[in-house]
Structure 1
Amino acid sequence: MLYLEYIVLAAMVVFFSVRLSYYVDCLDKKTNLSGAFIGGVMLAAVTSLPELFTSLTAVLALNQPNLVQGNVLGSNIFNLCVIAGLLLFTSKRYVSAPLSKSHASTLWYGIVMYGLVFAAIMFPIEVGFGFLKVNLMSILILVVYAINVKFMGNDDSLQSDENDVYIALSVKQIVLRFLAYSVALVAVSILLTTVTDKIADELQLGATVAGAIFLGVATSLPELSASINLVRIGNFNASWGNIVGSNLFNFIILCFADVLFTKGGIYINEPQVLNLLGFGVFSMLATLGVIYFKKKRGIVLLCSVLILASYVTSIVLSM
């Protein structure tokens, strides 16, 4: 019964995410906002809501900080697998598709965040704000994210002529529908966390491994379904922004969890966590290869395979 609940909830996540990606594409065509910003900030934040609320549920209701680390770090590698998988089937279209310059910068910022998480684990420094105590690296992660958002907001390297496409809905109607589906996605995500925790107990999996496999995959379904839908309708730029932007936003989730988990630190030194960190950085570098060698289809396909292999290896070594 638990597995049926998991499948039903995951299917609902996919449905809500596809609708969200549609309204994001409408905003991209209806407004003057850059596709990188819409995909990398707006859609990325919304499709990362499952990671956010499942992680908050894990620390506030289930007292499982390990579940948070596994969820975030596992989701980040899986998210890049979404790009890799899509490229294996759409590499010919990708070679000629326009991409904003900020996507590569976002990946580099992500690598910096991996370094900050590693430092938070190995060299914990707590900073007190009244009754709250947070790791110094959590503050630095927030700063890095803010810098990247500002950079994406100013990115006008890709001017789209799709703003003239007729969209029947007004901007207000699009935003209201976007918000409604976002709320629905949050509700389903909270339910998904409790089901995952029960499955982990039944299978006797560690919290980190369960987070990386069940939560990491399930909470990445929004990125998966939204990106597939965006590529299907030809918006590679917003699709990339969604994935790389979601990965950066996921690190912010660690910061929120660090503030709210008052029974200890959120950054826990475990072999499984260090494993996910290492393979996460490798996957980010391989994804940079996909961008820098965009015109060379052979290298794009090789880097895509390396990203997929990295995720599989990280899960196998974490078991």
Structure 2
Amino acid sequence: MSTPIVLLLYFVTAAILVFFSVKCANYVDLLDKKTDISGAFIGGMILAAVTSLPELVTSISAIYVVHNAELIVGNVLGSNLFNLCIFGALTTVAVRNFSKASIGQSHLKMALCTIIAFIMTGVTLFTGFGRIPFVNINLASLVILVVYVVSIRFLSGDDGESEGEDDSPLTVRQIAVRFVLMASGLVAASVAVTYLTDQLSIRLNLSASLAGALFLGVATSLPELSSSIQLVRLKNFNAMLGNVLGSNMFNFTILSVADIIAGNTAVYVNSYQTSCMLICAMISTLLTMVALLAKRRMQTSAKGAALLWYAVPAVLTLVSYGTFLVLSVQ
């Protein structure tokens, strides 16, 4: 196939990926309304896990289908950086609504957990330290899994009510069946995106890590983008933050799982682009924490000074993503 056809197939598959992801998110939202499951848990864990399913499938496919493990770290870090860009863009556009929104305390703790995951990943990438002999697993992977479990406890401790009214005639069982069907389509589209990304990296002469960030990272973050836009339209910034930060933490566990199942294949593969992604993503996470700290201090204040404390960090996350794009082509 020619490069234009591969590109066309990539965009068509990405669109299909969005369709299935949005359907999955809708059914998860219905489960939130029809069950007694915590709203924070729904947004930060279940919805985040659903929208991060493409990252999981594509990462496993990178090992077993295209045999290119370097795609994984680019996929994870690229997705995380793009997710934070989603937060920055939506908060900037709707900063006044953000200032009035009620935000759970667990999001700040979740952001701190992702910082720990970034640090462990960076230490492993830059130094190669932490490889456990005989079992061929990095210490960073084990620490990340522990941090993920801790983050679940934070989210489960947040109380919240479901957003909106239950106006669906579907039963819980019907919703669950339809959710499984949509998730199956999501898996198939994710495998296809992985294959097409590998082909594009070869045809466009891109490094695997850069291809993972630009094509896999963006395509597999489209579910987070679509669902986050809808949540902001509903003025539900609490769920939007849970989706973004929960997805980022879940993505790190994908890196850990990939490391465990890869055996002797190296997953923590460092490159110039990977280093740029890691640094820019950490900066974006810290900027997000600044906005959350300001929100915690000023609550629902919509005064000019408060808006600046929200808007400036949000805009800088966009600058961080743009910086990565500029540096990655140097």
Match of 1:74 in 2: 78
Shift of 1:318: 1.8
1:302 to 303, 312, 316: 312
d(CA) in 2 for partners of 1:114, 1:278: 9
Question: Aligned residues, how many?
Answer: 315
d(CA) in 2 for partners of 1:239, 1:25: 12
Match of 1:142 in 2: 145
d(CA) in 1 for partners of 2:37, 2:24: 17
d(CA) in 2 for partners of 1:189, 1:102: 30
d(CA) in 2 for partners of 1:134, 1:161: 40
Shift of 1:162: 4.6
d(CA) in 2 for partners of 1:173, 1:225: 24
Equivalent position SS for 1:67: helix
Provide, for residues 238-267 of structure 1, a one-character-per-residue CA deviation record: whole Å limited to 9, x for no partner.
221111000000001111211222343211
d(CA) in 2 for partners of 1:256, 1:317: 29
1:192 aligns with 2:202: no
Match of 1:315 in 2: 325
Gaps of 5+ in 1: none
Provide, for residues 123-160 of structure 1, a one-character-per-residue CA deviation record: whole Å limited to 9, x for no partner.
4223357xx4211111111011011112211222xx32
Match of 1:56 in 2: 60
2:33 to 16, 20, 29: 29
d(CA) in 1 for partners of 2:175, 2:238: 20
Match of 2:212 in 1: 211
Cα pair 1:44 1:246 within 8 Å, conserved = yes
1:1-319 aligned at under 5 Å gives the runs: 1-121=5-125, 122-127=127-132, 132-156=135-159, 159-160=160-161, 162=163, 165-294=166-295, 295=301, 296-319=306-329
Cα pair 1:20 1:226 within 8 Å, conserved = no
d(CA) in 1 for partners of 2:237, 2:136: 41
Cα pair 1:30 1:167 within 8 Å, conserved = no
Code of the aligned partner of 2:85: C
Code of the aligned partner of 2:63: V
More deviation, 295-304/244-253:
295-304
d(CA) in 2 for partners of 1:301, 1:163: 27
d(CA) in 1 for partners of 2:56, 2:242: 18
d(CA) in 1 for partners of 2:57, 2:221: 13
Provide, for residues 177-234 of structure 1, a one-character-per-residue CA deviation record: whole Å limited to 9, x for no partner.
2222111111101001101111111110000111111111001001101111222233
d(CA) in 2 for partners of 1:166, 1:234: 19
TM-score computed with the length of structure 1 as normaliser: 0.93
Code of the aligned partner of 1:134: I
Shift of 1:70: 0.7
More deviation, 105-114/169-178:
169-178
Code of the aligned partner of 1:283: S
Runs of 4+ in 1 over 6 A off after TM superposition: none
d(CA) in 2 for partners of 1:161, 1:15: 23
Code of the aligned partner of 1:274: S
Code of the aligned partner of 1:265: A
TM-score computed with the length of structure 2 as normaliser: 0.90
d(CA) in 2 for partners of 1:220, 1:152: 22
d(CA) in 1 for partners of 2:105, 2:251: 21
Code of the aligned partner of 1:172: R
Shift of 1:161: 6.4
d(CA) in 2 for partners of 1:233, 1:200: 38
Shift of 1:28: 2.4
CA RMSD of aligned residues (A): 1.7
Provide, for residues 15-54 of structure 1, a one-character-per-residue CA deviation record: whole Å limited to 9, x for no partner.
1122222222222222222222101110111111111111
Question: Relative to structure 1, is the Cα distance of residues 119 and 169 closer, same or farther in structure 2, using a 3 angstrom cutoff?
Answer: same
Cα pair 1:13 1:222 within 8 Å, conserved = yes
Cα pair 1:29 1:165 within 8 Å, conserved = yes
Code of the aligned partner of 1:269: N
More deviation, 73-82/172-181:
172-181
**What percentage of residue pairs aligned between the two structures are identical?**
43
